[in-house]
Amino acid sequence: MKSKVGTVLLSGLIAGTLDIITPILIYAVILQKTTALKILQSIASGIFKQDAYSGDPKMAFYGLLFHFIIATIFALFYFKIYPYITFLKNNTIISGVLYGIFVWIIMNLVVLPIVFPILPAKNLDFPLLLSILILIFCIGIPIAYITKKYYNK
């Protein structure tokens, strides 16, 4: 990517795509614990609350849209801090892993509790570790690599 905006949009698009496809494959296809529609509706429910589950097909679209907006915001944040933190430049994989963990912390300990005041308790178990790994490999590492590629041109 040659432009800053293009780089942020590309990394948000790639990270967002990986981060929506992976949970759908794991939770809807492999484990059959939910459906792709319910995953998208649950994202939309952050804004639309119970109306997100009304059956309106637009809610799945809104969930997908919100998901990509959030992924792009995280891509933008990383892109903005990258030039100022030497560690990010010298350790791409570790930076991506740490950024994935950071994204998990922000989403699960800040954003979700604000949007959904009543959430189930978090236990250090396989589902929690899986959710962290998804964010590391689908958000953190792709954003770190795409951002590094832009700044190294």
pLDDT digits (tens, 9 = 90+) for 39-78: 999 999 999 999 999 989 999 999 999 999 999 999 999 9
Q: How many residues does the chain have?
A: 153
Domain holding 33, by residue range, is 4-151
Confidence check: pLDDT of 1 > 70: no
Helices (H), 24-115: 36-48, 58-81, 86-90, 92-106, 112-115
Integer Rg of the chain from CA: 16
Instruction: For residues 26 and 110, give the distance between their C-alpha atoms in angstroms, rounded to a whole number.
Output: 25
Are 93 and 141 within 8 A, CB to CB?
yes
Look at residues 61, 98, 65, 59 and name the one whose alpha carbon lies nearest to residue 82.
98
Per residue in 87-110, pLDDT (tens digit) is 999 999 999 999 999 999 999 999
Nearest to 19 by CA among 73, 58, 91, 57: 73
What letter represents residue 147's amino acid?
A: T
Residue 117, pLDDT above cutoff 90: no
Rounded to 5°, the CA angle 134-52-121 comes to 50
Distance from chain centroid for Cα 101: 11
Q: For residue 40, count other CB atoms closer than 10 A to its CB.
A: 22
Q: What's the mean pLDDT in 122-135?
A: 93
Q: pLDDT at residue 123 above 90?
A: no
Q: Which two tokens stand for residue 111?
A: 């954003």
- pTM beyond 0.85, yes or no: yes
Quote the number of domains for the chain: 1
Pair 29, 6: CB distance under 8 Å = no
